[in-house]
Amino acid sequence: MKKNILSEIKKRIQKANKILLSTHIDPDGDTLGSMLALHLILKKMGKKPTMFSGDPVPDIYRFLPSVKLIKNLASPEDFDLIIALDAGSLGRLDPIFKNSGPEKIVNIDHHSDNTRYGKINYIAKVSCVGEQIYALAKHLKVSLDKNIGVCLYVAIMTDTGNFKYDNTTAETFAIAEEMLKLGVSPDKTANAVYENRSWPAIKLLAAALENAQSTAEGKIIYTVITKEILVNTAAHNQDFTGLIDHLRAIRGAEVAILIREDHEKNRVKINFRSKSYVDVQKISKELGGGGHSRAAGAIMHGDLLQIVNQVVGLTTAAL
Amino acid sequence: MKKNILSEIKKRIQKANKILLSTHIDPDGDTLGSMLALHLILKKMGKKPTMFSGDPVPDIYRFLPSVKLIKNLASPEDFDLIIALDAGSLGRLDPIFKNSGPEKIVNIDHHSDNTRYGKINYIAKVSCVGEQIYALAKHLKVSLDKNIGVCLYVAIMTDTGNFKYDNTTAETFAIAEEMLKLGVSPDKTANAVYENRSWPAIKLLAAALENAQSTAEGKIIYTVITKEILVNTAAHNQDFTGLIDHLRAIRGAEVAILIREDHEKNRVKINFRSKSYVDVQKISKELGGGGHSRAAGAIMHGDLLQIVNQVVGLTTAAL
């Protein structure tokens, strides 16, 4: 089954002349690492793929090899193959793709609720799309190197919460081992991603922890970041990376909720993380969002206090 | 060389009747995980080892198998073999060992400055003593199981900073892979250790980040935890676990310093972490302490402000 899909993708790549690779909106370590690795793999096959991300690459990923080649403008109609990485639905891709039919699209993703919007859909139950690109590279018989290794290591590291989430498998560690043998430095890579926190991010974390509340006998931990806190800490979007994990790390917590007013737009972003049994994808869907069972989110509009009450109430009901 | 030492240890274990295993003072995940794993391995060989830790086991490690069998009282003279785990010198062992001659001691450790205080000294350059116990188990031909696996996984996970430090090798990941195949759950284990933070620890972290200072063009980040903060947050010794890593994670930081007044005793504890080039073991030695090149510490007495100035001054000079 997997081998069949990998063969189909291989054929599709071989006959393509102009290939466009794309991240999802608000790109993270998996979508970027997977795209960059695939780009390097395709180049080894003699292809000249173009990489696209509509949203900017967060600072912490700017050390990745070839990252400067990522374009923020592209016309899908100029390409005969579009490979979407880590996007669960067409809506998770940049608006430039809204009129791209399925015909040209290869959809490589690991979200269980993927809508299969491509002509070829390679959907696997693995920790990250990085593991799928690894499998694809093996199938394509392209030899990996240190640069590809760093990209795949970042995909794995970030999507497993640095080997802490329940999607981490023996195979995940086996791939990590191989990446180290290729020369990837686990400390330098982890430093670049995790030890690269801005002062605004530090002050934001301090405020988030200081304001953290617990309810439902400590099973729910939530914190609210108001526009005022954003102004006081000078924090931006990317300064939130990893913040919610600190809430989940509190003893007895099953669900962590980060509720934050948006800097620019009149909306409230909700992020959920759960530890072992609450399906936060389900809660997010009720709020118009999506994600995974242990990590999900939604965007809401309206009065902050009402939203807090609704979100906490819905989560309490899901315990 | 390593094989010779492993053979010597094997012989010593085989002829021993009463075996005492010991952690170092202020036990951490490596010394505890290694001792517990070795205890389970020795039991599989038909031995009945006794486990000792003079200091209490931190809450976050109380989920480990057999942890309830650890005693906090023992008479070394009642044993014909003492195996010390992860202790760089006799002074790192509990005072009950101060009159134990080298004759009975097998010293298993990975600190580069180990004083070789045992009759047999198995000192290796690996991420953790857990890796040495793994090698010993293979040499002893004892089959590993899930319980041993959890203990070794905790040793590896905690001493590599969850696979983030530069002591993480391809072999480290290969062992982790094997532990998962034995049934170890990476998420449950990481949750137990890292996602088990007390509210005092959270409030302490908030205060530490709020008060964090930077000097030497951002290369040194330090924070001072006064007795007043300890009282306000109700934080205890074990609530400091991992705190300093948050300081090291600030962009541009090379050395992180945590300076804290002791709750009960009239002394100041200094912890150092460095990112890539400053040898903090050297700085700690100048202050009467010790450790590794990237993680070290010392205990000082005197006026807090003077100590802060001395520590920051010495670190600046070492940049």
Shared-domain flag, residues B131 and B49: yes
Look up residue B200 and give its amino acid: P
Range of the domain at A216: 199-318
Shared-domain flag, residues B15 and B80: yes
At B112 the pLDDT is 87
Comparing CB atoms, the residue among B178, B195, B246 nearest residue A275 is B195
Shared-domain flag, residues A206 and A160: no
Chain B contact set for A209 (CB, 8 A): 202-203, 205-206, 209
At A157 the pLDDT is 97
Task: Collect the ranges in chain B with pLDDT lower than 70.
Answer: 1, 263-264
Shared-domain flag, residues A187 and A89: yes
Shared-domain flag, residues A179 and A208: no
Those residues of chain A whose CB sits closer than 8 Å to some CB in chain B are 162-166, 168-170, 173-174, 176-178, 180-181, 185-188, 190-191, 194-199, 202-203, 205-207, 209-210, 212, 214, 246, 248-251, 253, 275-276
Count of positions (residues) in chain B:
319
Chain B contact set for A276 (CB, 8 A): 187-188, 191
At B2 the pLDDT is 79
Share of chain A above pLDDT 70, in %: 99
Q: Which residues contact B46 (CB under 8 A, 6 or more apart)?
A: none
At B246 the pLDDT is 92
Mean pLDDT of all residues belonging to chain A: 94
Shared-domain flag, residues A243 and A309: yes
- Determine the distance in angstroms separating the CA of B3 from the nearest CA of chain A, rounded to an integer: 24
- Determine the distance in angstroms separating the CA of B213 from the nearest CA of chain A, rounded to an integer: 10
Residue of B nearest to A207 (CA): B206
pTM of the model: 0.88
Task: Write the DSSP assignment of B132-148 as a string of letters.
Answer: HHHHHHHHTTPPP-HHH
Name the domain boundary from A173, A194, A215: A194
At A172 the pLDDT is 98
- Summarize the confidence of residues A73-79 as an average pLDDT: 95
Cα angle B26, B22, B159 (rounded to 5 degrees) comes to: 55
Task: Write the DSSP assignment of A179-218 as a string of letters.
Answer: HHHTT--HHHHHHHHHS-B-HHHHHHHHHHHHT-EEETTT
Shared-domain flag, residues B164 and B46: yes
Shared-domain flag, residues B132 and B214: no
Name the domain boundary from A194, A210, A235: A194
CATH number at residue B137: 3.90.1640.10
Shared-domain flag, residues A214 and A86: no
At A288 the pLDDT is 93
- As given in the structure block, the two tokens for residue B23 are 């952690």
Tell me if B82 sits within 8 A of B96, measured CB to CB: no
- Summarize the confidence of residues A279-293 as an average pLDDT: 92
Shared-domain flag, residues A42 and A183: yes
Chain B contact set for A191 (CB, 8 A): 164, 275-276
Q: Are strands A220-225 and B255-261 parallel, antiparallel or unpaired?
A: unpaired
pLDDT digits (tens, 9 = 90+) for B144-164: 999 999 999 999 999 998 999
Tell me if A264 sits within 8 A of A278, measured CB to CB: no
Number of domains in chain B: 2
- As given in the structure block, the two tokens for residue B253 are 């930081």
At B264 the pLDDT is 67
Strands (E), B12-119: 19-22, 50-52, 81-85, 105-109
Name the domain boundary from B172, B194, B216: B194
Shared-domain flag, residues B253 and B141: no
Shared-domain flag, residues A232 and A298: yes
Chain B contact set for A202 (CB, 8 A): 209, 212, 246, 250
Chain A contact set for B166 (CB, 8 A): 185-188
CATH number at residue A240: 3.10.310.30
At B54 the pLDDT is 96
Comparing CB atoms, the residue among A165, A177, A203 nearest residue B173 is A177
- Determine the distance in angstroms separating the CA of A77 from the nearest CA of chain B, rounded to an integer: 41
Confidence of residue A100 (pLDDT cuts 50, 70, 90): confident
Confidence of residue A216 (pLDDT cuts 50, 70, 90): very high
At B11 the pLDDT is 97
